[in-house]
Structure 1
Amino acid sequence: MTTASEPRLGTGLRLVAAGQRVRVRVPATSANLGPGYDSLGLALALYDTVCVETTDDGALSFDLKGEGADTLPRDESHLVVRTLDAALSRLGYARSGLRVVAENVSPHGRGLGSSASATVAAVLAAASLVAPEDRPDRAWVLQLCGEIEGHPDNVAPAIYGSLALSWQDGDAFHAAVAEVAPSIVPIVAIPDFELSTELARSLLPSSVPHHAAAANSGRAALLVHALTKDPSLLLPATEDYLHQSYRSSAMEPSARLIGQLRDQGHAAVVSGAGPTVLALANGEAEADEVQSAVEHFAVSVLDPEQGAESLTRWRVLRLAVDREGARVDVHPR
């Protein structure tokens, strides 16, 4: 990345030129996929979109549509704005005015990478708004997004698409991409309750037995093979020994649905930290079976606040694997 020669502001930052417009479309993601804890992630054809236009009036205009429109802020505290500012600063720039339009399709707090999508969209937007000679590559985008999110398992597939295998060396984040077998059909069952990633992580033990770690590493290796070469092995390949059982108490309906689907021979797992359930069907016929099973699944759990049974409702989406990753359309002045 070259060093800019234009005069800089007193803060050491150059202003982004007004009139720049960029649109970023980012896929939803499902991390872990069973045994691939904090290392495997799948891009799904369910997209959030962020449109950014720079102005010279110093004002921020934020229009938010779709998921979170009634609860999320529309000022500098929004994740997209905070991340865009951080990315511009890292590149040696600052904004003056900004118009942002965000359309959220992925549900929040459900384990489909909504925060990763927002982070990736903002960093890619920032990278596209600076001078062409200062625009970084996607490895830089992965690094910054990994730093912001704390781990790369959702941001990697959001950036690159398909199946992303990510890891960390010291402070550096890396990812490799593998092509998913064309017969695989992802189906997500989204429950009507949320679960924070922080709570889900707090339920995990500080250590696991050696035999469990050994078993999990074998299944994670098998899972890469099953997803790319032999989907007939998806059921044994998605067996997890590290995290799902510890989190089941926080998402009892999801745990029951996963158990029922796996008993029927379907590769079902917790999507990310949950509570969404992801099933990886091998072909359209199995996808029909999974979708029917979920739509007919009903489970009631005791609500401790109400002292009564409550029925979980599910939103079932039959998706495709996104094979492109984040898409950026730049409209220069």
Structure 2
Amino acid sequence: MSIVSCVTVTVPATTANLGPGFDCIGAALTLYNEFKFTRLDSGVIISVTGTGAQTVKTDESNLVYQAFVTFYQHLQQTPPPVKIEIKMDVPLARGLGSSATAIVGGLIGANLLAGEPLSQSQVMELAIAIEGHPDNVVPALLGGCRLAATADNAWEICEIPWHNHLVPVVAIPDFELSTKEARQVLPTQVSRADAIFNTAHLGLLLRGLETANNNWLKTALQDKLHQPYRKALIPGYDAVNSAALATGAYGMVISGAGPTLLALTDELHSQAVATAMTAAWKQQGISAIVRSLSLDTQGAILTIKP
């Protein structure tokens, strides 16, 4: 096998939870970060351009490099000297899986420079171990909408059919919300009634995503395990939700840990929903970038130079 000297990995943003699928379901979106890895004779060089680049560390604490190093530690090898060039379009700390793109990008780049000693499944297992949960890293790696469940320390990954009429509209506000902060507001225990509620709604969500049945989705996107607690951390949540529903959204959820809000609608209503969500947040004194996206079906894409 020829030695790879340079590889570029393009990784999609992801939206996790989709309402009732807390910590188990996620979908890849058509918004991307790009990571270029080039072998060096010595040292480590990291550069970052694009959205939020000024806040990303460029020393060895960079998350992409940390994932790169973890890969080689997993093989009990010393990581090679490398230049990592990062181009960002996925905003940080907004609930769109920016950390998952970094982890997946770092692991795939390392795997390719090492001659691909790990399979895609093994890379996925390592990504889940680093991230701590599967709902972002799995769709970032594989694309599509994915459900993950574990038993006996092994993961089962199921692709969820996503109707091509469904349009995810993401409203990205100009403030950050860390996953740690968003988890701290969650209760340590939930009632049986709330657990049953989410179980039923997740089942309905899976069928709603497959069929684009708007009545099913309007019900299915509701949740009682995390969103009622997290929405207090997102100013204007109720106003944006009302605006989205009034203009044709099937429902609105917190994307990941937030603060990005995601509405599901169809192509006919997507522009009206996007405009309404922008206006609702503006009335709260909050600027937001709102984008109509699609489901990314490819996952991480590789470009290799020998």
Distance (Å, rounded) in 1 between the aligned partners of 2:80 and 2:200: 52
Structure 1 residue 286 displacement after superposition: 1.8
What is residue 8 of structure 1 aligned with on the other side? Answer: none
Is the CA contact 2:239–2:280 (under 8 Å) kept in the aligned structure 1?
A: no
Change in Cα spacing, 1:47 to 1:271, as seen in structure 2 (3 Å) is: same
Identity, % of aligned positions: 35
Q: Structure 1 runs of 4+ off > 4 angstroms?
A: none
Change in Cα spacing, 1:34 to 1:117, as seen in structure 2 (3 Å) is: same
Structure 1 residue 180 displacement after superposition: 1.2
1:276 to 237, 257, 260: 260
Structure 1 residue 288 displacement after superposition: 2.4
1:258 correspondence with 2:232: no
Is the CA contact 2:248–2:269 (under 8 Å) kept in the aligned structure 1?
A: no
What is residue 270 of structure 2 aligned with on the other side? Answer: 287
What is residue 146 of structure 1 aligned with on the other side? Answer: 128
1:320 correspondence with 2:294: yes
Distance (Å, rounded) in 1 between the aligned partners of 2:109 and 2:303: 9
What is residue 192 of structure 1 aligned with on the other side? Answer: 174
Distance (Å, rounded) in 1 between the aligned partners of 2:152 and 2:59: 34
Question: Mind listing any 5+ residue stretches in structure 2 that lack a counterpart?
Answer: none
Which has more helix, going by share of residues? 2
1:330 correspondence with 2:304: yes
1:209 to 191, 202, 206: 191
Change in Cα spacing, 1:170 to 1:257, as seen in structure 2 (3 Å) is: farther
Is the CA contact 1:43–1:158 (under 8 Å) kept in the aligned structure 2?
A: yes
What is residue 160 of structure 1 aligned with on the other side? Answer: 142
Is the CA contact 1:54–1:95 (under 8 Å) kept in the aligned structure 2?
A: no
Structure 1 residue 207 displacement after superposition: 1.2
What is residue 39 of structure 1 aligned with on the other side? Answer: 24
Structure 1 residue 80 displacement after superposition: 0.7
The 10-residue stretch of structure 1 (224-233 or 322-331) with the greater mean CA deviation from structure 2: 224-233
Q: What TM-score do the two structures reach when normalised by structure 1?
A: 0.86
Distance (Å, rounded) in 1 between the aligned partners of 2:49 and 2:152: 38
Distance (Å, rounded) in 2 between the aligned partners of 1:41 and 1:35: 11
Is the CA contact 2:239–2:281 (under 8 Å) kept in the aligned structure 1?
A: no
1:52-85: CA deviation from partner (whole Å, max 9, x where unpaired):
01122x2111111012321221111100111101
Distance (Å, rounded) in 2 between the aligned partners of 1:92 and 1:52: 20
Q: What TM-score do the two structures reach when normalised by structure 2?
A: 0.94
Is the CA contact 2:247–2:269 (under 8 Å) kept in the aligned structure 1?
A: no
Letter in 2 for 1:242: L
The 10-residue stretch of structure 1 (39-48 or 258-267) with the greater mean CA deviation from structure 2: 258-267
Distance (Å, rounded) in 2 between the aligned partners of 1:255 and 1:160: 33
Distance (Å, rounded) in 1 between the aligned partners of 2:240 and 2:279: 11
The 10-residue stretch of structure 1 (179-188 or 44-53) with the greater mean CA deviation from structure 2: 179-188
